[in-house]
Amino acid sequence: MTEPLIECIPNFSEGRRPEVIESIRAAIASVPGVMVLDLHQDADHNRSVITFAGRPESVAEAAFAAIARAAEVIDLDHHQGEHPRIGATDVVPFVPLAGLSMDDCVRLARELGRRVGEELGIPVYFYEAAATRPARTNLETLRRGEYEGLREAIITDPDRAPDAGPPRLGKAGATVIGARAPLIAYNIYLSTSDVQVAKDVARAVRQSSGGLAFVKALGLEVDGQAQVSMNLTNFMQTPLAVVVDRVGSEAAKRGAAIARSELVGLIPQAALVDAAAWYLRLEGFRADQILEVRLQEARQAESATGFLDRLAAPTATPGGGSAAAYAGAMAAGLVAMVAQLTRGKKKYESVHPQMGMIAAQAAALKESLSASVEQDSRAFDDVMEALRLPKESPEQAQVRKAAIERATHRAALVPLRVAQDAARVLELAAETAALGNVNALSDAASAGLLAGACLRAAGLNVLVNAKSVEDRRAAESWERDLAEARRAADQAEARLQESVVARGGLSI
């Protein structure tokens, strides 16, 4: 039987403060059984999108944690951006991936909405498949008037009363929660600064104006350039290439062209393959003709060796931060192994539920730490790229300085997350050493030692970057968070040592 798997893609009304978005991401990642897959941060729209997946109950809990955190750190009275919005957590869609129906996602969305309304006091509207009335199916309708307009309408207009929660807005606004099929969030920039051209093109291509089926579109001005911002709700029925061609032809009618495009979040691989086959006019093309598809299993088998070869190469990345994350991922893998070896033994039947939770948490931490291996390298590369910016004029020097500051923040936040993940792995290692299969005691201990090394190495990277930034409040916050992770790790190491001595007669 397929294990139930669900995706959640919440949108947050903040794209200019990395530390705020990181705190929301951390709230999501802290929930066992959740895999954070992507974070897209857009300063122009002042909006961020986080994609995560996992078991339904875990994903719902992570979504609630994210909404709660966003309500604490985002004040819509002080928010401005190009993208329409009504809430700090603006929209929370659930997408069934495996072992679930759309009806299952609808139930999950409505349960979450009621909880958000009752416990957080945030008005909630249900949309798409979870909508309680046809007029609320479309997100655009619910966003009418945005936060500022809804503030009055939610009180005076019965048609704008929320589906759950109080009929009034606080500084976190309202949240739209629903269930839908996978979509592609895709923006096309035009070779003009005339936003009216983008609005006319959007009107011509979107379904609601008589354009392409399964296409939603807005015309916006982003950083002085006209943009057609789109959601493609069924790429199988209306392929990506068809949409691009139509935008190009409509823009050409108005004296413009496609300058570039961008994705927001993730895209199904099949959509890109279809687009490539379309433009290359390939007949009889099969996905298994893609070299990477054929090589995937072989590459996975050799991935460990490949990383070590890159680590040994005479290049700046991957470096110590990536190595720390890699050690942490190995530690989490060992913890999961010990927990699974314990669950399979009748002798340890009394701790089977606990070991099941530990195995799930360790698996999620392994995914998070594995992703951090490459994220750390990219963060350091961003710092180096900022350092190479020109500084001949005062304006160039200012731009360079700001870029270095932003990149250094990212370079500190990645190892901080790694250190926090490592502290949690160490706590799980201590639990498995105390309660798990005694025949795997050395594996639990090894996991703890690796996690400790990970935390110390990652912590060093945090402190190095904290010394380099001008924002001392941010640096002090990182140092406090790191100190808290270290305290938790120290306590876990002591428990681990006690269990290894008591159960194995060994000292580590």
Q: Which residues are marked as active site?
A: 83, 376
Is residue 230 within 8 A of residue 215, CB to CB? The reply is yes
Is residue 407 within 8 A of residue 382, CB to CB? The reply is yes
Which residues have CB under 8 Å from 393's CB, separation 6+? Answer: none
Is residue 369 within 8 A of residue 418, CB to CB? The reply is yes
Kindly report the three-state secondary structure assignment for every residue of 324-392: HHHHHHHHHHHHHHHHHHHHCCHHHHHHHHHHHHHHHHHHHHHHHHHHHHHHHHHHHHHHHHHHCCCCC
The region that residue 332 occupies, defined by phi over 0 for left and psi between -120 and 50 for alpha, beta otherwise, is alpha
Phi then psi for residue 65, to 5 deg, are -60, -40
Q: What angle do CA 217, 264, 76 make, to 5 degrees?
A: 80
Task: Determine how many CB atoms are found less than 10 A away from the CB of residue 501.
Answer: 12
Amino acid at 360: A
Kindly report the three-state secondary structure assignment for every residue of 262-316: EEECCCCHHHHHHHHHHHHCCCCCCHHHCHHHHHHHHHHHHHHHHHHHHHHCCCC
- Tokens standing for residue 115: 């909880």
DSSP string, 101-123: -HHHHHHHHHHHHHHIIIII---
- Tokens standing for residue 34: 């959740």
DSSP string, 480-493: HHHHHHHHHHHHHH
